[in-house]
Amino acid sequence: MNYTTYDPTTGEITGVISTSSRELAELNLKNKHYTVGSYDGNRFYIENTLPISKPEDPSTTTTKYMFDYTTKSWVIDQGFTAYASRNERNQLLHNVDIINPIWYSTLTEQQKNDLVAYRQALLDVPQQQGFPTTIMWPTKPEWL
């Protein structure tokens, strides 16, 4: 028999206990809230001892959502999304920072100014209003 344990204040699933022995089940479930059956915490939460399907996770590769058990809805995981956005920004910075010094010395003053401005704009991305979910990525100089 399978039993799903959960936090009664939030409905968050905390585990699944599988046992064929009623005595072991009673021992493992002592002082725990549970419902009969096996339910995946990524897809369900428990409300009034009943499993409820979560809405589909809207996460993308750059925006991560987490399930809010208070509102029973997905909300943006600001920490992960900021991390992913900074990681993307850092890759763009890396592409600028690896420029060969000999090649750099052949640039015109305007190209050098463009490069400095582009790099600074990348550094300023985390200070933008709306970061990390709304980002105006700077335009890379066409010659770069």
Residue 66 φ then ψ, to 5°? -130, 150
Q: What angle do CA 125, 139, 122 make, to 5 degrees?
A: 25
Residue 66 lies in a domain: no
> What is the domain extent for residue 118?
78-127
What is the pTM assigned to this prediction? 0.67
Q: What is the mean pLDDT of the chain?
A: 93
Residue 141 lies in a domain: no
Q: What angle do CA 3, 7, 19 make, to 5 degrees?
A: 15
For residues 48 and 91, membership in a common domain is answered with: no
Residue 143 lies in a domain: no
Least Cα distance to 86 among 115, 140, 144, 128 occurs for 128
For residues 50 and 82, membership in a common domain is answered with: no
Least Cα distance to 45 among 79, 5, 103 occurs for 5
Residue 26 lies in a domain: yes
Report the alpha-carbon distance of residue 93 to residue 97 in Å, rounded.
6
Residue 60 lies in a domain: no
The number of folded domains in the chain is 2
Residue 121 has pLDDT above 80, yes or no: yes
Residue 65 lies in a domain: no
Lowest mean pLDDT among 32-46, 66-80, 94-108: 94-108
Question: What percent of the residues of the chain are helix, what percent strand, and what percent coil, each to the nearest 5?
Answer: 35, 20, 45
Residue 140 lies in a domain: no
Tens digits of per-residue pLDDT, 43-85?
A: 999 999 999 999 999 998 778 999 999 999 999 999 999 999 9
What percent of the chain has a predicted confidence (pLDDT) above 70? 100
Report the alpha-carbon distance of residue 80 to residue 78 in Å, rounded.
6
Residue 69 lies in a domain: no
Report the alpha-carbon distance of residue 76 to residue 84 in Å, rounded.
13
Give the pLDDT confidence score for residue 62 in this predicted structure: 77
